[in-house]
Structure 1
Amino acid sequence: MPPQTISEHVPIEGPKTFSREEVLKSRDVVRKSMDGTKYETCQPWYIIIDNKVYDVKDFVPDHPGGSVILTLIGKDATDAFNNFHQESTHDLLANYYVGDVAPEDIASTKEGFSKELRELKELFVKLKYFESSKAYYLFKISSNISIWASSVLLLYAFGNSILGVLVAAIALAIFWQQCGWLAHDFLHHQVFQNRDYNNLAGCFIGSVCQGFDPSWWKDKHNTHHAAPNVHGQDPDINTHPILSWSEYALTDLFDPELASENAKILPQWLAHLWVNNQTILYLPIMCFARISWCIQSIIFILPNGQLRKPANAHMPITKIQQISLLLHYVWLSWMLSLIDNWFLRLFFLFSAQTICGLLLATVFSLNHFGMKILSEDESSKMDFFVEQIITGRDIIALNPANQWIVDWFTGGLNYQIEHHIFPAIPRHHFHKIQPIIQGLCAKHQVPYHMTTFFKGTTEVFGTLGDVSLTASKKY
């Protein structure tokens, strides 16, 4: 009798299978690490991509995108992953593969809304919508520098008058606002195929010119993209007690057992007073948005500046970033030296900062504020693309002939829905794909919200008022 081979004695085990419920449970493990001190290395941190399961707990400290990955633990991250990563990233991901989704839990990709959006992405690649016009961005950068130059010339010519200083401050505020939109494009890797070039340009425009550190911005903004308007995850709506956008925030504020660290900034009586009057306080608060973001950037790049973040999800900070942020304040100090009077210097600085804060925030707030707020449980069960669409708002001009003004002032962020679905598409292509996305949403009965600048702003104020009314009645 011939000898038996090893394969006849030892069964070959296939990949382990996971139910989606089993993957979802790893979300609870992550919550224990969110206080910035605990890091549960003994428990798996699962995500699902293309019906394959990966344990990414050992990868989180090295993740270039920072803590954004924590919003996807326990979820199907297929579309989020494909939206933010290059094809080459799949090779790295293979190192963390642990098994497959159980056959009965495999998500169907044969039909439906998401499938059509994935097909659209392939079409847009063929149409070269993911490729930028370098001439367009050269014009945007040079025209923006000319706005800064006009501020300098105004200070040279009229720096001894309050009116001249005010006009110069307005010009500088517009320069900073437009730098914000340009840095946004570069740091989303919309301009160059080489990501290092994008990051360097983003560092110059975002840090040197505008004063916002790219790592601070990426950590905040990428997390927002992964979990837009998700309470407890999206940092853009985690603004209570300063501004409260939903009943979830009110629970955080006034329920002693659930009150978050942010809620404890103000004593409860003052938090009540503040929330009840937040509609009135909204615009004054927005004026100080830029100052707040500048301070956050400085803290973020300092040693121990990320102490309140999970220890395993700190963003790497380079000397280039620190020097770039320092250079911002060097040239700003030089501009102040063009003014002889200390009162006018302070007036110029305060005016530029607060006007820019208002210019940034009036656009920023229209993107998502006043739209649907989701709980973490709702988000975990929702299609990625649907979540991006129902939480966003597109802005159009009342008169189509003036659309270019809206596009310029908002830096293309008025196409917020399209940007969230395809964040790597340069802004100058959004007007081409907007009607296509709108039509697809209508076909699948996915709510798509498009309105004017004025109506969108009234919606934001309406939400603030509704939350204030709820707070006054419920608490």
Structure 2
Amino acid sequence: MGLGANQQGDGEVQGAIHKAKRFVGDVTWEEVKKHDGKVVKDKWLVIDNQVYDITQWAKRHPGGFKVITHYAGQDGSEAFTAFHNDEQYVRKFMKAIHIGQIAKEHEEHKDVVKDFAELRKTAEKMGLFNANFLFFFLHMSHIIGLEIASYFVMRTYGFCWWTFLVCMAMHGTLQAQVGWFQHDLGHLSCFKSSKWNHVFHYVFMSTVKGASAKWWNHMHYQHHAKPNVMNKDPDVRLEKLFVVGEKMPKMVAESGQSTMPYQHQHKYFFLIGPPLLFPLYFQFMIYRHMIKQKEWIDLAFNSLYYIRFLACYVPLMKWWQLLLFYESFRVMESIWFTWVSQSNHIPMEIDEDLARPWLELQLRATCNLEQSFFNDWFTGHLNFQIEHHLFPTMPRHNYVHIAPLVKTLCKKHGIDYKTKTLLQGFADIVHSLKSSGEIWYDAYYHLQDQYSTD
């Protein structure tokens, strides 16, 4: 989110800015809330008590159209700060879309907003936004090492049951780990320069992982801007296969469009959730996005992954062995990613957009898993999901240092800071799916009984 999230060059950004037709002057919060794109067509947002018209600018926003418009009619100050490493660079483009200032400061969440801003300043003074180059170099090296080792094992010993299992495990592991690494790069947390973060993000996401950097940015920035917010977070949008939380099941039941036996979703999740998310759903969505958005450069980088993979392994396997090998490590990667990523979010509160302050918004939607060397590696430090969501550009090796301060701040404001074991986090996915399915079942069949009575 933000007016210049990816910093893509002065000329492009300047050309995309829509100059405001007028300077309004003092603007009331009631007026701002009308400009959410629903009540009034124009989209306004507030940053540091200044009002900006993002109606046209949003279409060329480097961070994506949706992520910035999710804050239309709201105060986006905290999200703006969270997503931008260099606010001064971005602010020089904001004058052209500035239309006024808030007549009266927002008092509702003033204390928690002020305290969180102080916490961020403390983190900056502690140097927690500075990346350890050695950490990321070693992480990158072990990914490349797994790739090379897998190839040489298959080339040296040929395809047999044990080389298949060993190489599948290595490929599945490297794909999971490159997923965490590209996540760091996508959040601009590995290098001081945004340019180098983007370059390496393209390389690793496309040519090492075989996915799409632009698609990831489009989806993931929305998730961070409004986590677990229905119709804004793409990870919890109304889907045909699963219902989550307490409100979504009722909404789906009342819509009369229910097509799945959601009361059994905690059972069929094991079959069509983790195993198929990457090999089927993400594959379709990635290419759909690249083609629909005409991201030809992204598509070209993506094709390099398959050219490289086929060049390495076609001489070593028969076609059916190659297909089995590829799909097997994709399923392993998918299972790994799904269980880790959903353990932090699905069991948490899922609601409509209530325009909560940043600290409360993120804590209601996220929880942590216990810290250990294995958990850090296995989850890509997303066991510190709370700290990651509060400070998305902070290098992940520093989450452990900011966590105690976050806990103290949450305690001060009566906000629940949840930490679970790894296995408890996984179990809670199933428990929450079961609970949501039961809510849908009760609501749906209660309505059916009403209809039959009428």
C-alpha distance in 2, partners of 1:14/1:245?
44
CA offsets per residue over residues 281-331 of structure 1, 9 Å max, x none?
A: 2122211111222332222111xx14xxxxxxxxx8352x22210001112
C-alpha distance in 1, partners of 2:296/2:199?
12
Question: Which stretch of structure 1 is more off in the superposition, 157-166 or 47-56?
Answer: 157-166
Counterparts of residues 330-349 of structure 1 (less than 5 Å): 330-349=307-326
1:434 corresponds to: 403
Change (3 A) 1:254 1:336: farther
Counterparts of residues 107-146 of structure 1 (less than 5 Å): 107-108=106-107, 112-146=111-145
Q: Which portions of structure 1, spanning 4 or more consecutive aligned residues, are displaced by more than 6 angstroms?
A: none
Does 2:372 correspond to 1:424?
Answer: no
Matched letter for residue 92 of structure 1: F
C-alpha distance in 2, partners of 1:96/1:150?
53
Does 2:75 correspond to 1:101?
Answer: no
Does 2:446 correspond to 1:469?
Answer: no
| 1:28, distance to aligned residue in structure 2 (A) | 4.6
2:6 corresponds to: none
Does 2:300 correspond to 1:323?
Answer: yes
Q: Check conservation: 1:155, 1:338, Cα contact below 8 A.
A: no
Report the TM-score, using the length of structure 1 for normalisation: 0.84
Change (3 A) 1:149 1:255: same
1:460 corresponds to: 429
- State the structure with more CA Rg: 1
SS at match of 1:182: helix
Matched letter for residue 268 of structure 2: L
| 1:353, distance to aligned residue in structure 2 (A) | 0.9
SS at match of 1:27: coil
Matched letter for residue 299 of structure 2: Q
Q: Check conservation: 1:162, 1:344, Cα contact below 8 A.
A: no
SS at match of 1:206: helix
Matched letter for residue 25 of structure 2: K
Counterparts of residues 15-414 of structure 1 (less than 5 Å): 16-29=25-38, 43-66=41-64, 67-85=66-84, 86-87=86-87, 88-103=89-104, 106-108=105-107, 112-238=111-237, 240-256=239-255, 268=258, 271-273=259-261, 275-284=262-271, 285-291=273-279, 292-302=281-291, 305-306=292-293, 317=295, 319=297, 321-376=298-353, 378=354, 380=355, 382-397=356-371, 403-414=372-383
User: How many percent identity over aligned positions?
Assistant: 24
Question: Which stretch of structure 1 is more off in the superposition, 121-130 or 202-211?
Answer: 121-130
SS at match of 2:369: strand
Matched letter for residue 58 of structure 2: V
| 1:385, distance to aligned residue in structure 2 (A) | 1.9
C-alpha distance in 1, partners of 2:304/2:126?
40
CA offsets per residue over residues 345-399 of structure 1, 9 Å max, x none?
A: 22211211111100111111122111001212x2x2x1122101121011115xx
C-alpha distance in 2, partners of 1:203/1:342?
29
C-alpha distance in 2, partners of 1:328/1:249?
38
CA offsets per residue over residues 39-93 of structure 1, 9 Å max, x none?
A: x8xx321101111111110201110011211111011101001111222211211
C-alpha distance in 2, partners of 1:236/1:122?
30
Question: Which stretch of structure 1 is more off in the superposition, 331-340 or 71-80?
Answer: 331-340
Q: Check conservation: 1:159, 1:338, Cα contact below 8 A.
A: no
Question: Which stretch of structure 1 is more off in the superposition, 336-345 or 120-129?
Answer: 336-345
Give 5+ residue unaligned stretches, structure 1.
1-12, 31-39, 260-267, 307-315, 398-402
Q: Check conservation: 1:290, 1:353, Cα contact below 8 A.
A: yes
Change (3 A) 1:323 1:443: same
Change (3 A) 1:247 1:241: farther
C-alpha distance in 2, partners of 1:109/1:135?
44
C-alpha distance in 1, partners of 2:255/2:111?
43
Matched letter for residue 226 of structure 2: A
Report the TM-score, using the length of structure 2 for normalisation: 0.87
Question: Which stretch of structure 1 is more off in the superposition, 202-211 or 333-342?
Answer: 333-342
Matched letter for residue 224 of structure 1: H
Coordinate RMSD, CA, aligned: 2.1
Q: Check conservation: 2:185, 2:200, Cα contact below 8 A.
A: yes
CA offsets per residue over residues 141-170 of structure 1, 9 Å max, x none?
A: 011111112221222234321232122112
Matched letter for residue 213 of structure 2: P
SS at match of 1:144: helix
C-alpha distance in 2, partners of 1:52/1:111?
16
C-alpha distance in 2, partners of 1:253/1:166?
42
SS at match of 1:287: coil
| 1:172, distance to aligned residue in structure 2 (A) | 0.4
1:262 corresponds to: none
C-alpha distance in 1, partners of 2:189/2:373?
20
| 1:231, distance to aligned residue in structure 2 (A) | 0.7
Equivalent residues, number: 418
Give 5+ residue unaligned stretches, structure 2.
1-21, 445-454
C-alpha distance in 2, partners of 1:344/1:210?
20
